[in-house]
Amino acid sequence: MLKTLLVASVLAGASLAAPPAGAAAANVVVAKDGSGNYTTVQAGINAVSAGGTLSIKPGTYREVVSVPSGKTGITMRGTTGKAADVVIDYDNASGTKKTDGSTYGTSGSATATIAANGFTATALTFRNSFDRNAHPEIKDTQAVAVKTTGDRMVFDNVTFLGHQDTLYADTAAVGTIGRQYYRNCAISGDVDFLFGRATAVFDRATITLLDRGSSSNNGYLTAASTRRSNPYGFLITGSKVLSSAAKASFHLGRPWHPGGDVDAIAQVLIRETALPAAVKPAPWTDMSGFSWKDARFFEYRNTGAGAGTGADRPQLPAAQAGNYTAQKYLAGSDGWNPVR
């Protein structure tokens, strides 16, 4: 009877008691209106135990959040099932000044930094709302919505909103594998907005190339920095890419060599994906003195007005297609298979 009354009070919107100080809880509710255990996402992250679930009620949560490596296996979920209903947002850019006069840098600009292995997110939006037009004094306009460095991470029905450097799909250290599965996600940006050295699969994603107003160069979809020893970098598969930008004004990617690292050899495959007219006929380009031709860039059976073939559009041989599926990218040495 007591359990029934407790459930009824929660459903009626009554405030939930927070766990005792120092204690971790398997299930934590965050709500801006006070009807949960906590009113901020970070407080909920701090309280939830490894392997626990953080349920977030609708609202825009203006805060910078961090999921440390010790919070393995946690799930963050929006309670309505609609990503647009729960928004975690902040607006730091790389060049934004801190109180001590220093700047955040690209990694430090992230609205959310997620380092835990086994992390799952569903029905949420992560946004970096930095507006470069409103801050002409800031020259370093990289503004990350999410930086990920974990392994065996799943993002399902999650939206990532930003402009430059929206999603930093990275790993915990150079030479460390970080597998990340983005299923049914929506991602938008303009310059290098999918970047990093993770093994990341974007499956059935909706990717929006934002218009910067240029008739010739509106931006770059990817900037992977895959390690030379890793055969699997970024895979975009079964997805659709949208854009209102000018025809032939967007690149599919360029090779990022952080700090001039010669062993960062980008690997990107875009397969069976609809591409808009905004994609350039020669869609890959050089970066910081490194030739795109030395990277591992391929397409396979893409469609739409922006699809094409030719000397500047390497195609994955059909005989190799079976080795470059979502399952192959994510399996690793432990046979992980979150694909469904």
Contact 114, 81 (CB under 8 A): no
Q: Residue 329: which H helix or E strand, with range?
A: helix 326-331
Contact 164, 190 (CB under 8 A): yes
Whole-angstrom Cα distance, residue 81 to residue 146? 20
Using alpha carbons, select from 188, 113, 181, 105 the residue that is nearest to residue 142. Answer: 105
Helix, strand, coil distribution of the chain in percent, nearest 5: 15, 35, 50
Q: Name the residues annotated as catalytic.
A: 165, 192
Q: Torsions phi, psi of 10, nearest 5? A: -65, -45
Tell me the residue length of the chain: 340
Q: At a CB cut-off of 8 Å and minimum separation 6, what does 23 contact?
A: 47
Structure tokens at 304: 């739409």
Structure tokens at 77: 């979920």
Contact 30, 43 (CB under 8 A): yes
Structure tokens at 65: 């959040």
Whole-angstrom Cα distance, residue 153 to residue 162? 21
CA distances from 164 to 129, 212, 243, 289, 322 (A): 11, 11, 16, 20, 33
Tell me the CA end-to-end span of the chain in Å, nearest whole number. 39
Whole-angstrom Cα distance, residue 185 to residue 204? 7
Whole-angstrom Cα distance, residue 60 to residue 67? 18
